[in-house]
Amino acid sequence: MSLPKPVMRGLLGRRLRFHLPIAFALSIVAAAAFKYTVTEPRKQAYADFYKQYDAVKEFNAMREAGIFESVRPSGE
Amino acid sequence: MMLGLTAGRFGTRFLGRRVMALVTPSSATMASHGHGHADVSEIADMSKPMYCDRMDTPLPDRAYKDELNAADKTLKEKEKGPWNQLTKEEKIALYRLMFRKTYPEMKQKTDEWKTVMGGIFIFLGLTGLLVWWQSIYVYPAQPRTFDSEWQAKQIQRMLDMRVNPVEGLASKWDYEKGQWK
């Protein structure tokens, strides 16, 4: 018949003390994961692409394919 | 709110109270009143305080039983005195006068979810049939851009234009060999 009195105060504070460090840690982990799985590989991909990029060669290939309107393929 | 009124009432039966109410002709059959049984055909006066079994409302607007017989009235008189003179059975009887269900009884699981899921799937199925019929009899002719030759020429043009050459479409095409990487 006599139950112990339940905790009436400090409930939000207790919840925050528990959940905030977890929230911060998970956010940092998420950001780090995104950085190292997405942004760094993407930066590397762009660097590799432009290392061997010859703009004139690409332009001539596109011209021969006939996609430009200002300059037609060299045969015409 | 309707679900609060129906919770636990015909809990274990397959047809929920909502479905019963759709089928019965009377209007406000949702409310309960002083009696212990569930009257589907009696109309409750919703302008007066009503009793409810809700987990978020520990003290409803009204006691469960308000038409007390003589034995109940004497018990209520005894309740006005010191409570340690009440026996355990009397305390339980007083509780049952005030409330219809205890919290554990309220929390008892029902089979209502089966009705709900069944209804959902039935209507999804009917909608699917409707959509299928529509796709045959209502839709206009497909645009020519959906033809496979057109789509092939479209992709060839995108490759010629070097669309997304770093990480996207053109980066997956091997221009020397003329095939996908």
Which residues of chain A have a CB within 8 Å of the CB of B161?
62, 65, 67
> Given an 8 Å threshold on Cβ–Cβ distance, is A67 in contact with B166?
no
Instruction: State residue B144's pLDDT score.
Output: 96
Name residues whose C-beta falls within 8 Å of residue B159's C-beta, 6 or more positions apart in sequence: B169, B170, B173
In B99-176, which residue ranges form alpha helices assigned H by DSSP? 103-107, 112-137, 148-160
Interface test with A, best of B88, B91, B162 (most A CBs within 10 A): B162
* Residue B86: alpha-carbon gap to chain centroid: 42
How do residues B112-155 score in pLDDT, each as one tens digit? 999 999 999 999 999 999 999 999 999 999 999 999 999 999 99
Residue B5 in contact with residue B51, Cβ under 8 Å? no
The CATH T-level fold of domain B50-109 is Cytochrome C Oxidase; Chain D (1.10.442)
* Contact residues of A toward B, CB < 8 A: 42, 45-46, 49, 58, 61-62, 65-67
> Given an 8 Å threshold on Cβ–Cβ distance, is B162 in contact with A58?
yes
Minimum-distance CB partner of A67 among B161, B167, B175 = B161
Give mean pLDDT, residues B37-47.
Answer: 74
Q: Please tell me the pTM assigned to this model.
A: 0.57
Q: Does ipTM exceed 0.95?
A: no
Q: What's the first-to-final CA gap in chain A, in angstroms?
A: 101
Instruction: State residue B3's pLDDT score.
Output: 41
Could you tell me the residue ranges of all domains in chain B? 8-37, 50-109, 144-180
Instruction: State residue B29's pLDDT score.
Output: 42
Q: Which residue has the tokens 């590799």?
A: A48
